[in-house]
Chains A and B, each alone.
Chain A
């Protein structure tokens, strides 16, 4: 969902020595849908052309500056309307509106039904809305604000609005709630557990999960006043989703982690051999992660309970592996776990291709809701940063997550052809299995890791 209120796009500050810029090209027109961070226009200053990204999701409303005009920093350039609102200059714009709305139909209806009768922009709303906000009339608030208000039992009319025409924005209502001006949200624990509506094209992994078990409503500690130098910002929907999910997983599963060291010599050799061919013929990079994913999927066939799920007092196992791959988004903005469906049917190339595709779509927010659902086991790969060990958190309702870590050359004791111990330099990787000890025992998990290592160390390239 887009943010609920109209977003204003202003000429940004592009350096202390830059006071103005020329609009060279509008990359979107009124009525076009636009995602946060997507380029909206280009500004030229001196010999530099700069793309100005949209500050939020929505539909382009008005373009207020013509191409070729030079404007000062801070000048209002355009407005972005929330998805669902009707762009003033584009009366019949059904197409751009329909698509995101359909995608937004996520399984998040646990929260009390928000008043979603998306109110159209009121023409000449400025004086009218200001009156309404200060008085007792029905103030227009966006669906997002309405939902937040409903969740926290706040009357939006009681909040001072800073939006256009004194409208109550999401920021206003969050600030109002933060300030403690409202009663604790006692009667609706489920509402708290429900993730907020995700961005249309990037549902959080949490959104795909079944409803949370009713947790006792946490009593929020009184908000500490902000100290000088501290910066406060609202948490994104995805962040809140991740927050809720991580906590719930730790509260649900009995997490235990085991690690094994794997000599990756054969994988390194196989990869070097395949890399050129894969890249030239298929445009796909056979990453170490693809090899590990392939070996993991094979090993899971022999260890059904690592690929299982606990439902009540029953254990659910299945013949297929839907492999989740944890993908972190840029700048720590969140985490998403797209799923490779029926990974047991894919060969190495198929897995490498699926990982490349999902990771790219995750980062460009082009995942479909189905891409993040139905995972039966997950791999996370923080080793790119050089870390050699970790204890990841299980993605519910799964019971296991594999962690892969930095590939490092180490002195390693091996046997030469005479059976003598010698020290060799080998590329080693630590691999961890974090499992839910409610279902998976230590010996069983040890067997899984041992067999996985055997597969990787004895890799025969067959595909």
Chain B
């Protein structure tokens, strides 16, 4: 039976704010059994680096002013910007197999299922985590995860309608020297909006992780967290 989870469709949120939100939610999941929550956001343009990013990966052109943020997620550097659907599942892997690799494979499945209704067939490539279109390989979605006490933060970013140039001209995204990056709009030859893809993403996440979502209004998150932190106060 699917478990109840929250879905937070947060719209355009800065990377830092979204990171803080994720961390509060993860702490609530770890400490108080707060329901698992899947966050959907778009970020203003930003470059983020993971623990294993090497210095040579970031090579911003001189006239570019974009914030570079170091994070605690797995994987190497990546780029976020409007037109990209970013999904941060705050899940307790105790409920989803307790297996880090399986979780990454499950996310790949969810991404593939998200784009399938648009008539796109994607593949995964052994050793190159993410979701790719084949022949020649073009990367459509990137994955980077952080896990603490089996609770996940960070997640995946699906390129829908944005200029993929920053992935290669600003950074060597994911540390892949010669990889191509693509978007759904580019592949489908029409302008696809993030809002158009969200329902498919929600359905795919629900199916892959056996979750049934209750919408969480963005305005109430703070109050909800506070309320939840209070509830387990006590017992005798």
Contacts and interface: CB of A to CB of B under 8 A. Distances in A.
Chain A interface category by residue count = 35 or more
Interface in B70-87: 72-75
A307 interface: no
A2 B73 CA distance: 31
A100 interface: no
A11 to B, nearest CB: 12
Contact of B148 (A16, A39, A279, A379): A39
Contact of B234 (A279, A330, A380): A380
B235 A382 contact: yes
A289 B230 contact: yes
A393 interface: yes
Interface residues of B, number: 39
A380 B236 CA distance: 6
B198 interface: no
B235 A328 contact: yes
A428 B78 CA distance: 52
Nearest to B32: A330
A403 B130 CA distance: 52
A401 interface: yes
B235 to A, nearest CB: 5
Contacts of B31: 330, 363
Majority-rule SS of A interface residues: mixed
Interface string A377-413: 0011110110000101100000001010000000000
A380 B73 CA distance: 39
Contacts of B233: 287, 289, 325-328, 355, 359, 381, 384
Interface of B: 30-32, 50-52, 72-75, 97-104, 129-130, 143-149, 222-223, 226-227, 229-236
21 contacts: A14-B100, A37-B149, A45-B74, A46-B101, A47-B74, A47-B75, A47-B129, A49-B72, A50-B147, A51-B146, A51-B149, A279-B226, A285-B223, A285-B230, A325-B234, A330-B31, A330-B32, A335-B236, A384-B230, A384-B232, A393-B236
6 closest Cβ pairs, A-B complex = A15-B99, A384-B231, A392-B236, A381-B234, A49-B74, A285-B226
Interface of A: 14-18, 22, 24-25, 37, 39, 42, 44-51, 53, 275, 279, 285, 287, 289, 325-328, 330, 335, 355, 359, 363, 379-382, 384-385, 390, 392-393, 401, 403
